[in-house]
């Protein structure tokens, strides 16, 4: 059974940093692209970042480029999202996802990040 468990969320002040982790199980982690997708309270979905299978290629939308960094550790079956210079508009539930748009796509349950003073 595929499982994705996100941790690391919480309340953080504007301008500070936070690192999210997502531990995967139930599939061959190193064979899949991994994604972070967020959802502000009561709002729609926004893609945040993607990473290829070996971690050599990463992708971001302009809204987080230069502030967020995605990485992965295939030995630990874990994908990370380092978030720096956080803003109030980054407040959201952050979902980790395994190749979300193709056969077998799967999302974790999400972790809440609140940016507020």
Partner 1 sequence: DIVMTQSPFSLAVSEGEMVTINCKSSQSLLSSGNQKNYLAWYQQKPGQSPKLLIYYASTRQSGVPDRFIGSGSGTDFTLTISDVQAEDLADYYCLQHYSSPLTFGSGTKLEIK
For the CB of residue 70, give the shortest distance to partner 1 in the complex, in Å: 13
Single out the residue of 61, 76, 87, 88 in contact with partner 1 (rule: CB under 8 A).
61
27 binds partner 1 (CB under 8 A): no
- Please enumerate in sequence order all residues whose Cβ is within 8 A of that of 101, keeping only pairs 6 or more positions apart, or say none: none
User: Given the structure tokens 């059974």, which residue do they identify?
Assistant: 1
Q: How far is the CB of 47 from partner 1 (least distance, A)?
A: 4
110 scored as a contact of partner 1 (CB under 8 A):
yes
Compute the least distance from the CB of residue 27 to partner 1, in Å. 14
116 contacts partner 1 (rule: CB under 8 A):
no
Beta-carbon contacts of residue 63 (< 8 Å; ≥ 6 apart): 46
Contacts with partner 1 by CB under 8 A: the residue count is 20
Tell me how many helices (H) and strands (E) the chain has.
Answer: 0, 11
Cα–Cα distance for residue pair 21/103, rounded to 1 Å: 24
| Among residues 47, 77, 82, 84, the one that binds partner 1 under rule CB under 8 A | 47
Does residue number 20 form part of the binding site for partner 1 (CB under 8 A)?
no
Strand partners of residue 19: 82
């Amino acid at each position: 059974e595929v499982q994705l468990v996100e941790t690391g969320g919480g309340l953080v002040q504007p301008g500070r940093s936070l690192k999210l982790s997502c531990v995967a199980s139930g599939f061959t982690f190193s064979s899949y692209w991994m994604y972070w997708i967020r959802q502000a309270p009561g709002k729609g979905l926004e893609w945040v970042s993607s990473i290829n299978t070996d971690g050599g290629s990463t992708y971001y939308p302009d809204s987080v480029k230069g502030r967020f960094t995605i990485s992965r550790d295939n030995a630990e079956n874990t994908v990370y999202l380092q978030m720096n210079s956080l803003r109030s508009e980054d407040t959201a539930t952050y979902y980790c996802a395994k190749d979300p748009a193709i056969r077998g796509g799967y999302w974790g349950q999400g972790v809440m990040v609140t940016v507020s003073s």
